[in-house]
Amino acid sequence: MLKFTQPSKILPASFTVDPSDTFEPGMAAQMKLYGNIACVGVSDGRAPMGIIDDIRVNSFSAVAYNEDHKVIVTDATLVSGRLVTSRPIYIPLNNPFIFQESFISSIPGDLNTKNGILTILAGTELNLIESGTPIGLSLFCSYRFSITGIPGIDTTNGSGRISVHYGPMFIQTDQFETNMQYPIGAPLYIAETGLFTTRKIEENYPPVGMVTEPPSGMHSFLGVYWRV
């Protein structure tokens, strides 16, 4: 999704769309070749040129960022002076159909991506403290998930063209890597998937802007100053 806090003063441009790409509004665009045809599709981070404002997906996706879970553990075991879980703890996340590569958790565990259940292994130290005593587990996790029940759409169908915003602008988007941190003022790059990231893929990959507002559990959008 793409929201404009302060749009560019330059009108969006329209280009022939790469017929092989899938994309959502808020992803980065890049010039490329499809056979002998010059076109625009999803950026791989090497030469991002603007922000896509069209959609071509089989299913929609959304972001859960810093999702908070707390579990009281009543049957903990004392091991080497530490209270740990005596059995696996099963935590149902708020959403199923999670993209595995997007998932990160403050406590390691095994994720079932289809049903969204996170299994915390036995032997995990309790970190939820009450009156100085460990009583359970507290974790934060972030991920991207697929929205079921809503069919995909292709807004480029018929025209064969894609709209791209470019020039300095302030935006909000949910098209970012959820397994990274986004402190205010951090430089932003484009990942191989066309998503925003604070991860610099290689030395020659250019920065495209900076973080103006970090995502949170209450507001899962990344604030971006785009300056390309």
Q: Choose one of 149, 184, 202: the last residue of a domain.
A: 149
Which of the four pLDDT bands, split at 50, 70 and 90, describes residue 41?
A: very high
pLDDT of residue 151: 83
> Does residue 119 carry a pLDDT above 90?
yes
Domain-embedded: residue 76: yes
Domain-embedded: residue 2: no
Q: Tell me, yes or no, whether 22 and 69 share the same domain.
A: no
What are the tens digits of pLDDT across the range 20-37? 999 999 999 999 999 999
Q: Tell me, yes or no, whether 46 and 159 share the same domain.
A: yes
Domain-embedded: residue 181: yes
Q: Tell me, yes or no, whether 81 and 127 share the same domain.
A: yes
Parent domain of 118: 62-149
Q: Tell me, yes or no, whether 144 and 189 share the same domain.
A: no
What are the tens digits of pLDDT across the range 199-227? 998 889 999 999 999 999 888 999 999 99
- The predicted model scores a pTM of 0.88
Q: Tell me, yes or no, whether 193 and 117 share the same domain.
A: no
Q: Tell me, yes or no, whether 68 and 143 share the same domain.
A: yes
**Average predicted confidence (pLDDT) for the chain:** 95
What are the tens digits of pLDDT across the range 139-180? 999 999 999 888 889 999 999 999 999 999 999 999 999 999
Structure tokens at 146: 């697929």
- Region 39-66: mean pLDDT is 95
Give CA separation, 135 vs 27, 69, 77, 81, in Å: 42, 14, 11, 15
| CATH code: domain of residue 196 | 2.40.300
Residues of the chain with pLDDT > 90, as a percent, come to: 93
The structural domain count of the chain equals: 2
Q: Tell me, yes or no, whether 51 and 114 share the same domain.
A: no
